[in-house]
Structure 1
């Protein structure tokens, strides 16, 4: 029987030990939400650095701490990559001296860190707002850059020429291995995560061996004089700029305005209804067809009780101030119609309606329907401007700089300190643990598009009935189905549907989420004594 080469065994061992160590620590802490990240510690560039930076952006509480840990991570990554590349180097091909390889990889580690930092930063932002398109904006550039950066430790000059087709193929396989390994690390119970992470590390070692061989032994590099990698970096920088615009122009499917506001409700619906549209919506003041239906206004009511028109900028208000406006509108509508009140909220509107029920409930409100709520929002934190300490302080300032740069090129988007975003940050324990939980005396249902499955760590996420169906955030496919199910629910018929692929999509997304900030660590969170779903794997747990 042919024995494996000793260097290959050493390579696999070196690649397997760090993921196993991280898995041991996470299992020992009971940090179930982050277990899917352990397999990435020794992934091929740039995914290993992406792993490091996501931890750093969440878990630092001062500038000195951030800089010190950043330097340690750059050094660790440079040394580890040197060992992996040296062991993966093909026999019969002259290899640079170890010292030269170390100097080269320490420098490259710093370069790759700079290149990957924006996408790790956006990943943390995605964990604050729980929006799939924000997570997509952090991942697509990584997929684009991976074949180029995987040559960096081997080829000189690595920034010129196209990667080979073989290297692109191994890069795609690397992506598949990371995704599947993250799902398996999360799926297996308890300490079984450690051997799974160990095997994922072995797979990483084999991928290092293949990518180094392909990069070293490629006989001819196409476009060898063209600085292709810098061009690829510029294209990657354009991805976060393009995705918000695409979200605006690509049809999202059925919205609650289309389903509710343009027609009369059937006679068997005995409720008056308030429709709360999402972030960035606008209202021109036109009255709904049904006199028992009103549109919630983010500007409040006129003197005669009619909802005022509002612009997209008005939706940036805090959820607490929106709940105060909703309290007044519920009271006026109930007195005008004499009917019980149902709230139907979409995205930010769903969050506002749920906040209202937690803070200012009216006895007339006995029904809540949420479309595309932000599941498990507020998983990271950064302090308000002016603070020089606090968890994620550097993350906050870098997000402000990044969003400022995006605005300079004409893409207008919410800032990291908009009152709505700060509501998610400041009351994160509630939105992480209680958003999808029953309210006594209120019938509740959440319509969830399938993309929601990728927006939060896997595990239990709801204590109320959910209706899952294909769609993207803010829109569900199949208008007649949504309309029928919604009307049936308003008429008192129980509704729920769970799709088989939903848990699988949750698990496959496990390795791409930023690690959540432990609730108990953050003194800025008044509710930090609440049970933490990141550790319990459950929601709706009493304090």
Structure 2
């Protein structure tokens, strides 16, 4: 049974004199209570001040989309580092600014962590010296930056393509590692043995606190961000106190005390980014055969007066089998044969620039219109929705007057990284993403990566996809069918200027559902279609803490967006 505070390294670091940096003994005359109160108040102040400062800065700039991040400034490891790295990965425009920012990040984080640990230290155990704890925390901060950086980079990828799968992949390893890393600041042998059940419980509570506080900070009006963030920071101080207490004074013996459990957990967590691509291969639309959709498998009702072209999503396949109704056609990412029929295509054929897909869609729409003599309705899913909406923006007088978008990428292009060999905003994040997806591609051989032409098209034309994707088009009826996971893919705000039909589902999982197919036919027949889920806005709010901060449109010269409206500051799209 280990003694309280029995870590040999901590006993040596504390020194022989109990009065060093604060006595471990309580005064018999009650003076210890006063000292405890002062230290406790100091802990709450130190934990509350940084979130309040960040809240003030965000309010001054009106940066509403990033409000939910403020409470994480003083969060318990590793969420504080995750907060720092997301800001750094988005807001650096060269390798030199990244290096300076990284050094500043490590120094700031190590200093704040040292102060919080010292103030949270239980009085039953002599505190280690400031010199020992500061040096150790500085080294461990550098280690944790390396450990957390792949998932911070994945959060950047999630903000580029607006996919909840990538956001989840960036968070799950943190949730796994948190109980292990929370011991690192206070226990010399933190890397051995399993964390206690108390540490696991405080870690889970930490996730809840950061999620709820992020939602509250975003929900309050400008001017209240700093006070609410300060309260959330004070709660972080309480969590620091309980976490340090649980680590220094464990109630039970450490299980697997000789096993390097933390390195094994880190190794397991590092596998997650590598398996992202194989996991994506199992998503809807990637099964190797076309989806079973009534629109394609049976004749259109006689009340539908349009010809319909279906544009599938990224990674989809088409075997060349034409739809049952001659007025319905698959869009082919390979084009048409000599007879004007859609060519079969595989998953890699969808990895093309949006501009080239728009050119193919224009040709196929025109031929379908001439062949049938009907106006054309486009049904696009995921990448197909992006292609169809871009087509309407580029060709406002086309034969298309109906557009149904399924699982469109809401508010995509919120981050940026330049092409290889070019400096610019997010250059370090881009190279880390190339390393992660390059390693994953060795296993999956999928061809998916941060330089896929479709992704690069979003990066280069982000202002349109951030502000105009979900906006009306004159002369065109539009509806967007949104799975509820879409609510977690963008910061809170109003991101639709067209009718939406919201329904519980995952990305790409709507179109095969019978109720959705019925609503699609209603839309093609001319009926209004819309439906809001009451929990959609709530999901937006609770995801606010875990989004990467958007890159302001006006500062990226690639976007030439100095005078464009930015949803990151307005919380709205379609602002003209």
In which range does the TM-score fall when normalised by the shorter chain? Answer: over 0.9
Superposition pairs of residues 238-277 of structure 1, within 5 angstroms? 238-249=271-282, 258-277=293-312
Question: Deviations for 1:212-263, whole angstroms, at most 9, x for unmatched residues?
Answer: 0000001521111100011101111122334443444466899975232111
Gaps of 5+ in 1: none
Corresponding position of 2:521: 487
Secondary structure at the residue paired with 2:293? helix
Corresponding position of 1:121: 153
Give the whole-Å Cα distance in 2 for the aligned partners of 1:68 and 1:195. Answer: 30
Give the whole-Å Cα distance in 1 for the aligned partners of 2:291 and 2:397. Answer: 23
Corresponding position of 1:138: 170
Confirm whether residue 418 of structure 1 aligns to residue 452 of structure 2.
Answer: yes
Secondary structure at the residue paired with 1:321? helix
Corresponding position of 2:23: none
Alpha-carbon spacing, 1:63–1:247, altered in 2? closer, same or farther (3 Å): closer
Question: Deviations for 1:300-351, whole angstroms, at most 9, x for unmatched residues?
Answer: 1112111111111110111111001100001000000000100000000000
Secondary structure at the residue paired with 1:282? coil
Pick from 326, 329, 332: which aligns with 1:291? 326
Give the whole-Å Cα distance in 2 for the aligned partners of 1:231 and 1:474. Answer: 34
Confirm whether residue 226 of structure 1 aligns to residue 259 of structure 2.
Answer: yes
Give the whole-Å Cα distance in 2 for the aligned partners of 1:526 and 1:329. Answer: 32
Corresponding position of 1:436: 470
Pick from 335, 347, 350: which aligns with 2:382? 347
Question: Deviations for 1:249-280, whole angstroms, at most 9, x for unmatched residues?
Answer: 46689997523211111100010000000000
Confirm whether residue 406 of structure 1 aligns to residue 405 of structure 2.
Answer: no
Corresponding position of 1:531: 565
Question: Deviations for 1:57-100, whole angstroms, at most 9, x for unmatched residues?
Answer: 00000001101110110011111100000000000202211110
Confirm whether residue 467 of structure 1 aligns to residue 467 of structure 2.
Answer: no
Cα drift, residue 188 of structure 1: 0.6
- RMSD of aligned residue pairs (Cα, Å): 1.7
Give the whole-Å Cα distance in 1 for the aligned partners of 2:515 and 2:367. Answer: 31
Gaps of 5+ in 2: 1-32
Give the whole-Å Cα distance in 1 for the aligned partners of 2:442 and 2:291. Answer: 33
Corresponding position of 1:156: 188
Cα drift, residue 282 of structure 1: 1.0
1:460–1:538: 8 Å Cα contact kept in structure 2? yes
Query: Which TM-score applies when normalising by structure 2?
Result: 0.92
Cα drift, residue 419 of structure 1: 0.8
Give the whole-Å Cα distance in 1 for the aligned partners of 2:291 and 2:504. Answer: 15
2:78–2:174: 8 Å Cα contact kept in structure 1? yes
Secondary structure at the residue paired with 1:369? strand
Give the whole-Å Cα distance in 2 for the aligned partners of 1:289 and 1:252. Answer: 20
Give the whole-Å Cα distance in 1 for the aligned partners of 2:445 and 2:274. Answer: 7
Name which of structure 1's ranges 430-439 and 86-95 shifts more when overlaid on structure 2.
Answer: 86-95
Secondary structure at the residue paired with 1:275? strand
2:154–2:169: 8 Å Cα contact kept in structure 1? yes
Alpha-carbon spacing, 1:277–1:252, altered in 2? closer, same or farther (3 Å): closer
Corresponding position of 1:69: 101
Pick from 352, 358, 372: which aligns with 1:337? 372
Give the whole-Å Cα distance in 2 for the aligned partners of 1:253 and 1:138. Answer: 22
**Alignment length (residue pairs):** 541
Corresponding position of 2:116: 84
1:460–1:539: 8 Å Cα contact kept in structure 2? yes
Query: Which TM-score applies when normalising by structure 1?
Result: 0.97
Corresponding position of 1:373: 408
Corresponding position of 1:303: 338
Corresponding position of 1:313: 348
Cα drift, residue 384 of structure 1: 0.9
Give the whole-Å Cα distance in 1 for the aligned partners of 2:451 and 2:497. Answer: 30
